[in-house]
Amino acid sequence: MRGPRGSVLPGVDVGHGKTFAVLIHQTDGDGLCGFWPFADWLATEHGVHALLFDLCDFGRARCRDAEFSSNQQAQVALAVEWARDHGARRVVLVGASMGGALALSTAAVTPVDAVVDLSGPPTWPGAVAHQAASKITIPVLIATSPGDPYADYDQIHAAFREITARPKRFIKGSGAHGWGLLSGFSASPNRVPWLPLATTVAHWIIGQKS
């Protein structure tokens, strides 16, 4: 995905179809690769077209424009634009940790169809949960664990209560963080079976919200 002044965000799309999940990674050093097992599962088991990409300063991203490099919302919006340009009729943002905060904040200003936040911190540079909450008009799913040192459970829950959009759902996590909530392995989500939350997120992506 090409940004300003020769900036490039590497991405991988998995699967086919018009329903896209744009997966926004956490700060672990492997960038987009951390979401790979989930993307593959979404595509093979749920017919979702998943898009993974590296944000600036992660993975193999090359960001030569200072303004673009410092604006993570713009980077997520570029991924959404790519999905739309490649046939997406439904786009859902799914973010883990840092990516969760960015998913919420981007959903407040960029047209998408739903958003999922997995352990997003309440405050991240350029992404403040309670500010996004008042602007979001689409379905929202938030999952976070009490006691998670990287995400303030009470602050996120308070921001969730400010969201007026419907449907919305808040899920108390199992103790894991970020994409670890999906498989139960906080550092390595490539083990199966997937936890029930993974299926819940998949249903949210395809529009079956229960």
pLDDT over 70 percentage in the chain: 95
Order of all β-strands in the sheet with 49-53:
11-14, 49-53, 19-24, 90-96, 114-118, 140-144, 168-172
Residue 69 to residues 82, 114, 209: CA-CA distances in angstroms?
18, 25, 35
Q: Check residue 192 and give its pLDDT.
A: 59
Cβ atoms 24, 93 nearer than 8 A:
yes
Q: Which domain holds residue 133?
A: 4-206
Q: What does DSSP assign to residue 3?
A: -
Q: Check residue 167 and give its pLDDT.
A: 97
The CATH number of residue 180's host domain is 3.40.50.1820
H helix runs in the chain, sequence order: 36-46, 66-70, 72-85, 98-107, 129-133, 153-162, 180-183, 196-206
Residues in the chain: 210
- One pLDDT digit (tens) per residue for the chain, 210 residues: 999 999 999 999 999 999 999 999 999 867 899 999 999 999 999 999 999 999 999 999 999 999 999 999 999 999 999 999 999 999 999 999 999 999 999 999 999 999 999 999 999 999 999 999 999 999 999 999 999 999 999 999 999 999 999 999 999 998 999 999 998 554 444 555 799 999 999 999 999 975
Cβ atoms 127, 97 nearer than 8 A:
no
Q: Check residue 209 and give its pLDDT.
A: 72
State how far the Cα of 162 lies from the Cα of 187, in Å rounded to an integer.
Answer: 31
Cβ atoms 120, 101 nearer than 8 A:
yes
User: How many domains does the structure of the chain reveal?
Assistant: 1
Residue pLDDT, tens place only, 25-80 = 999 867 899 999 999 999 999 999 999 999 999 999 999 999 999 999 999 999 99
Residues whose CB is less than 8 angstroms from the CB of residue 55 and which lie 6 or more positions away in sequence, other chains included: 9, 24, 25, 31, 61, 72, 75, 76, 102
State how far the Cα of 151 lies from the Cα of 71, in Å rounded to an integer.
Answer: 21
Q: Check residue 168 and give its pLDDT.
A: 97
Q: Check residue 189 and give its pLDDT.
A: 47
Q: Check residue 187 and give its pLDDT.
A: 47
Q: Check residue 186 and give its pLDDT.
A: 42
